[in-house]
Amino acid sequence: MKLFKLVGLASLLTTGGILAATYLQNTALARNAYSQASDNCITRQDVIDAQKTWGDAIVDIGEAEKDGEDFNALAEETVDTLYAYDEGHVLFKPTKAAQKQFRLTEEDALSYFVGGNISEDEGFALQPWSKVRFENAAISLDCHRAMAMGNYYFTDANTGKETKVEYTFGYIQDEDGNLLINQQHSSLPFNPTEE
């Protein structure tokens, strides 16, 4: 009987040891995966690069329209690849939107940039613009999320005149580490003479 109990106890200890070793191994793997994910946190430079990509896309859409190219396809690609509509909600409040101020669908965002299903839209990206430059007041980073706020300046390709616009952009990372816009609020600066 004692031998049976000892064999049972040894079996239990062996099983417990295997479970403990498996737990420790899984914990180590989880820590390693977390560590690797942490290494891919959004950086300030990532945000600056995403801003440049967005600004260049706005210029490219206007140039495509001017050159008789398929600006609609370019705008669709821009909205699809730079905004997080496929990932979930995007909170987009464009500068020149009054009747339908908030563009919560990809179709409504596209309408703002090149015209479409919303009557007030004349195609912001079709201006055309020759340059967009960002001037960040601050960038807030939280590993896989980021926010940037400041002014951006749009240079009219026809007149060279620069228009100052205030912005807040929010970014998330997709599974490949690309930054996607999940929040954008733009407005013209307050002008007390307009009251």
Mean pLDDT over each residue of the chain, to the nearest integer? 87
- Lowest mean pLDDT, pick from 36-40, 104-108, 122-126: 36-40
Query: What is the pLDDT, as a whole number, of residue 38?
Result: 45
Query: What is the pLDDT, as a whole number, of residue 39?
Result: 62
Task: Using pLDDT thresholds of 50, 70 and 90, give the confidence band for residue 192.
Answer: confident
Q: Which residue is listed with tokens 């960002």?
A: 134
Share of the chain above pLDDT 90, in %: 76
Q: Give tens-digit pLDDT for 70-98.
A: 999 999 999 999 999 999 999 999 999 99
Pairing mode, strands 129-142 and 162-173 = unpaired
Query: What is the pLDDT, as a whole number, of residue 182?
Result: 98
pTM attached to this predicted model:
0.79
Q: Give tens-digit pLDDT for 2-43.
A: 555 545 544 544 445 554 445 445 444 444 443 344 468 999
Query: What is the pLDDT, as a whole number, of residue 11?
Result: 52
Pure H helices in the chain: 2-39, 44-66, 71-82, 106-114
Residue closest to 183 by CA, chosen among 71, 50, 8, 77: 50
Query: What is the pLDDT, as a whole number, of residue 195?
Result: 61
